[in-house]
């Protein structure tokens, strides 16, 4: 059975490209473009992994982690995508309970490796 991933990314071009690459590697990928949709999605579906950009409309990646960990009380693995030079946010993300992070510009093969590793350890 395919692992289901939630890709939260407001850049449509990048999300389309990453979705394509992840699907090509055998994952089922759902894309949402803002924090509101993430919350809506999580009320109905529980993915195996969340890949989220740290900067999103309505809800940042950090808030998303907080929501998942503290409100949903879920140990759902989360990978954060952050801009380079945003180390403070990355540290915050790890403190909040992120499982891994990836810096922009993204290397799709690297994302695949990290996704596989996180899913394996989850």
Q: Which residues bind another protein (CB under 8 A)?
A: 11-14, 16-17, 20-21, 24, 104-110
User: Exposed, middle or buried, 50 (CB in 10 Å: 0-12/13-18/19+)?
Assistant: buried
Query: Closest distance between another protein and the C-beta of residue 108, in Å?
Result: 5
Tell me the CA distances in angstroms from 44 to 10, 27, 47, one per residue in order. 21, 19, 10
Task: Pick the closer one to another protein by CB: 42 or 115.
Answer: 115
Task: Pick the closer one to another protein by CB: 45 or 107.
Answer: 107
Q: H-helix or E-strand containing 81? A: strand 78-83
Query: Closest distance between another protein and the C-beta of residue 113, in Å?
Result: 11
Task: Pick the closer one to another protein by CB: 1 or 13.
Answer: 13
2 near 24, Cβ under 8 Å? no
Query: Closest distance between another protein and the C-beta of residue 77, in Å?
Result: 23
């Amino acid at each position: 059975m395919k692992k289901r991933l939630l890709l939260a990314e407001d850049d449509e071009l990048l999300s389309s490209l990453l979705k394509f690459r992840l699907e090509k590697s055998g994952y089922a990928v759902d894309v949402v473009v803002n924090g509101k949709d993430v919350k809506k999605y999580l009320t109905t579906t529980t993915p195996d992994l969340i890949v989220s950009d740290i900067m999103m409309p309505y809800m940042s990646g950090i808030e998303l982690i907080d929501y998942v960990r503290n409100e949903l009380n879920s140990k759902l693995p989360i990978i954060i995508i952050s801009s380079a030079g945003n180390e403070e946010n990355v540290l915050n993300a790890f403190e909040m309970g992120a499982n891994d992070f990836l810096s922009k510009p993204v290397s799709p093969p690297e994302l695949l490796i990290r996704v596989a590793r996180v899913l394996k350890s989850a």
